[in-house]
């Protein structure tokens, strides 16, 4: 797990999102994994020299395959 501890509200919101958009993975472990992946993605983007919509879309597409 990352240094960030996610609270129950954050996890619950992600589980509700998953129940709608990805019901087969709508559980606590997957929600935490998704939050951690998104946090890592945000960190990588923030360190990038150039941020644009293509870079963000490519990173999001990679995120979908990593989880």
Q: Are 14 and 31 in contact (CB under 8 A)?
A: yes
Outline where DSSP puts E strands in the chain. none
Could you read off the pLDDT of 3-50 as tens digits, one per residue?
Answer: 568 999 999 999 999 999 999 999 999 999 999 988 988 888 888 777
Structure confidence at residue 1 (pLDDT): 41
Q: Can you give the pLDDT at residue 67?
A: 63
| Predicted pLDDT at 9 | 97
Distance between CA atoms of 41 and 45, rounded to whole angstroms? 6
Query: What are the boundaries of each domain within the chain?
Result: 8-66
pTM of this structure: 0.71
> Do residues 34 and 67 touch, judged by C-beta distance below 8 A?
yes
């Amino acid at each position: 797990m990352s240094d960030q501890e996610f609270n129950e509200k954050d996890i619950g919101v992600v589980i509700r999102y998953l129940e709608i958009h990805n019901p087969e993975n709508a559980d606590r472990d997957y929600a935490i994994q998704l939050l951690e992946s998104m946090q890592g993605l945000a960190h990588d983007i923030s360190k990038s020299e150039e941020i644009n919509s293509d870079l963000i879309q490519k990173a999001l597409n990679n995120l979908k395959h990593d989880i």
